[in-house]
């Protein structure tokens, strides 16, 4: 009766790490995801060169007049610039938080080392 339930139990492994290190890892993953997002938005451009074929091999849109195309291009450039600004701002914020986290971990490590050396000195004096 209970054996079948026990067979279906699946453990979810957790990484045994400092919460600050986990937060730093999450920030790095977020940076990587934002970089990929930026690259994906940079690739599909419908701009055309002199031959009439776009950079990615797409033909120009025939149902639009040049003013509409220019408006779309400026809108696309503005959106791209906004995304790049957001990515830069996020990256700067993440880097600032990461530097704070690393400085705090360094400080905690130093405190632990000094406490450990004090305890070892105390132990040696008792012995």
3-class DSSP assignment, residue 51: coil
The two structure tokens encoding residue 116: 């450990």
- Contact of 47 with 73, CB cutoff 8 Å: yes
Residues in the chain: 127
- Contact of 90 with 28, CB cutoff 8 Å: no
- Chain center to CA of 75: 26
The two structure tokens encoding residue 77: 């450039």
Q: Which of 35-44, 77-86, 90-99 has the lowest mean pLDDT?
A: 35-44
Q: Is the pLDDT of residue 13 over 90?
A: no
Please tell me the distance from the alpha carbon of residue 40 to that of residue 69, in angstroms, as a whole number: 21
pLDDT digits (tens, 9 = 90+) for 44-81: 554 444 445 455 555 555 567 788 888 888 888 898 88
- Contact of 49 with 55, CB cutoff 8 Å: yes
3-class DSSP assignment, residue 48: strand
Please tell me the distance from the alpha carbon of residue 94 to that of residue 61, in angstroms, as a whole number: 40
Q: What is the pTM of this model?
A: 0.40
């Amino acid at each position: 009766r209970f054996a079948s339930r026990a067979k279906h139990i699946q453990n979810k492994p957790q990484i045994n790490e400092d919460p600050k290190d986990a937060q730093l890892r999450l920030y790095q993953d977020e940076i990587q995801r934002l970089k990929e997002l930026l690259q994906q938005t940079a690739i599909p451009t419908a701009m055309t060169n002199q031959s009439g074929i776009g950079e990615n091999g797409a033909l120009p849109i025939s149902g639009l007049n040049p003013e509409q195309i220019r408006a779309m291009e400026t809108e696309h450039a503005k959106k791209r610039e906004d995304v790049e600004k957001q990515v830069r701002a996020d990256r700067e914020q993440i880097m600032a938080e990461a530097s704070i986290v690393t400085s705090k971990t360094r400080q905690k490590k130093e405190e632990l080392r000094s406490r450990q050396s004090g305890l070892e000195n105390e132990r040696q004096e008792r012995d």
